[in-house]
Amino acid sequence: MSGTPSTFSIGGDYRVSRLGFGAMRLPTGPGSDRGTAIAVARRAVELGVTLIDTAHMYGWGANEELLAEALHPCPDDLLIATKAGITRSGPDGWAHDARPESLREQVEQSLHRLRIERVGLLQLHRIDPTVPLAEQIGSLHELQQEGKIGHIGLSEVTAEQLAEARQTADIASVQNRYNLLDREHEPVLQACEAADIAFLPWQPVAAAASGPAPAVHAVATELGATAPQAMLAWLLARSPVVLPIPGTSSLAHLEENLAAADLQLTESQRQRLDRTALPA
């Protein structure tokens, strides 16, 4: 992908490929689907992915266990980022829980399930409205000082919350919903860019399935690509701190997504996509 950086250094010491992989969609049950899920995770690494995103909430630990089964022992250059701060509240429910004791327990569980001694990037999945933010970040900072966390990240935060969190500890990443047709968190991206903080957009191509704007189809056709690939290429061109993490449970879809890293938008194509917005 000439013209734009292909890697980014998270926290100054984890240099990863800018197009990562979101593991949330991988099936974690037994049977043939599990075999396919393991194959997808391994193929992602074979194709050069060095950033994989998971969370305690994804299968309540089952997703982390699947990644460990597929990838342990992990290559030295592979960063598996996970998230804590949400706990189960019944068969199908969840609740915020970023109390210090809960965060510590969740991190310990992630270390065990991932079969690692340190979580390279631990992201606060959601800010718990019942616990002061400084206390939540302070708890993660303590775990960082103990060597159980490498870097601290946030998820679904405002620019103001990011600034507040940075008063307590260094923040290495932010994971917010963001894509070509959904730019609600543009101010957060701008704050991350100014501070050289990694910005991991989740649902990076979600709107593509519902029929993207004509400009997206036009640019994709010009590139000889699919609309989702064009949207991923736009994200990579949008800012050097953007690290999309598209997810899939399909080997073919995985390879299609990762091929977007080789697309190069012209300035005209980028500007046309910049002007694209959600239909009225």
240 and 8 Cβ atoms separated by less than 8 Å: yes
CA distances from 12 to 9, 54, 133, 151, 242 (A): 5, 21, 24, 10, 15
* Burial class of residue 7 in the structure, from the number of CB atoms within 10 Å of its CB (0-12 exposed, 13-18 middle, 19+ buried): middle
Residues paired with residue 121 on neighbouring β-strands, in sequence order: 81, 151
**Is 178 tagged catalytic?**
no
Report the amino acid identity of residue 25.
R
Nearest to 241 by CA among 50, 16, 54: 16
Cα-Cα-Cα-Cα dihedral sign, residues 91, 96, 100, 104: positive
Q: How far is Cα 148 from Cα 142, in angstroms, rounded to an integer?
A: 9
Report the amino acid identity of residue 30.
P
Q: Considering the candidates 8, 14, 21, 58, report the single residue annotated as catalytic.
A: 58
- Crossing angle of the two packed helices 267-274 and 227-238, in degrees rounded to 10: 100
Question: Among all residues, which ones are annotated catalytic?
Answer: 58
